[in-house]
Amino acid sequence: MKNIFFLILLLISSTVAFSQKSGDKNFVDAKYKCTYSFNFINDTIKMTHGQKDRFILLIGDDLTYGYGYLRYQMDSLVNTPGGLRKFMMDASDNWKKNRIPPPAWITTDLMRAKVFKDHKEKRITVLDNISTSNFMYEEELTSQNWIIRDDTMTIAGYVCQKAQCSWRGREYEAWFTLEIPISEGPWKFYGLPGLIVKLYDTKHQYEFELIGFESTNEKIDIQPLYTKKTTGLFHSQLTNLTKIDRMAFLQAEYGEKGKIISKMDDEKAGIINDAPVVKHYDYIELDYK
């Protein structure tokens, strides 16, 4: 791809805008921090895995916040004085000397979304982006229709019990533990009698496994979101964050509309692709098809 570093710069600029805060900071106390290993298939033809990531889940009284760790690293980097310039110089040097491509967490769709689960207001708010455009969508917070099985297994030192569900186009198996009686889990999953320790779809294209659970005094920063007390809904305070319907977002990102948006973004940036990028994997939610 020509002008690859200009494209990287655009993506980084999107990350900067996505993570900038405006107005007074609002925080929610987190009580627990869960760290999950996260892996997914990035090529369903060759059946190869993408770069491994971690999914972090901060749990408060009524609000949880989940995000990909590599995306968090990206946000931290670009908000460090001189961090963006240093990264661009290092990436450019590596490319010239060794032809090393940019990190996968910049050029792929690896866990970019930031997921807020508001149990009090029964609402999920998701921040995500398509190319250099940032979006927010909301949906009702509802538990998956779990079927709890008798199977047990020890995972990460916890005695776990099996549960299954069919959700948004995929069949899932989850292992939860009553030793941590918190009805939570990675991504948008929750609703079991204990914390979800392991979760995967039956094709093993998306997999989460708990590798750490601890008490924490971290704060959940709900900027650029804020709670409007009259309705309890989340609203954006970023001028460049567009509110969109969940289905419309997924269709734009993974459907035919995505090709049009990507092409328009490339043309605006003056980028000419040698060949169209073909995704040999699909989103964790398949109900947009």
Helix/strand/coil (H, E, C) string of 3-44?
A: CHHHHHHHHHHHHHHHHCCCCCCCEEECCEEEEEEEEEEEEC
Mean pLDDT in consecutive groups of 10 residues from the start of the chain, 289 residues: 40 43 65 94 54 88 91 64 61 54 46 90 89 84 97 97 97 98 97 98 94 95 53 40 87 64 48 51 83
pLDDT confidence of residue 222: 81
**What is the distance between the alpha carbons of residues 33 and 66, in angstroms, rounded to a whole number?**
10
Q: In 3D, which of 169, 51, 48 has the Cα closest to residue 110?
A: 51
CA distances to 54, 204, 227, 229 from 79, in Å = 21, 35, 25, 30
What pLDDT is attached to residue 70? 77
Residue 221: its pLDDT value, please?
80
Instruction: Return d(Cα 49, Cα 57) in angstroms, integer.
Output: 22
Which residues are 128's β-sheet partners?
135
Pair 141, 158: CB distance under 8 Å = no
pTM value is 0.75
Query: What pLDDT score was predicted for residue 251?
Result: 84
The predicted structure's pLDDT at residue 240: 62
Backbone dihedral angles phi then psi of residue 170, each to the nearest 5 degrees: -130, 155
